[in-house]
Structure 1
Amino acid sequence: MLGKAYLTKQASLLLEFARTTSDSRLSAKLISKAADLKSQADPLPDKDQGPKAPDVTPGVSPGEQTQS
């Protein structure tokens, strides 16, 4: 699944392209696609919650890890 930051960035780029084109039909399609991406991004959490590496200990700096 794509993250909120990615979808938001893509929507922003589509809107930027829509503003720069002189083709009104293309502009309308780009704006429509940007709206679709925005609607996909809205229900997602603000921070992407990807899986963490199995060796990551929350709150411990790499130099502080102890050997077992």
Structure 2
Amino acid sequence: MLGKAYLTRQASLLVKFAKTTSDAELSAKLMSKAADLKSQADPMPDRDQGPKAPDVAEVENAASGNPITRS
């Protein structure tokens, strides 16, 4: 499955291409595809919106006797 960041980046590129072309039909198709990609990306959670930040999880695990070592 493609991620939200990837789909958003692709949609942004399509919009940029649509703005640079003088062909109205091509521009409309590019904008339509960008809208499709954006609608796919919108319901996806952001990757960094996890329940707890990694450094907070490490502190809690260390406090409970489960030391985490980084390699």
Shorter chain as denominator, the TM-score bin is 0.7 to 0.9
Deviations 1:5-38 (A, max 9, x none): 0000000000000000000000000000000000
Larger helix proportion of the pair = 2
1:61, distance to aligned residue in structure 2 (A):
4.9
Q: 1:45 and 1:61 mapped to 2: Cα distance?
A: 28
The gaps in structure 2 that reach 5 residues or longer are 49-56, 59-67
Q: How many residues align?
A: 54
Using the size of structure 2 for normalisation, the TM-score is: 0.69
Residue equivalent to 2:16:
16
Larger relative contact order (CA 8 Å, sep ≥ 6): 1
Using the size of structure 1 for normalisation, the TM-score is: 0.72
The gaps in structure 1 that reach 5 residues or longer are 49-57, 64-68
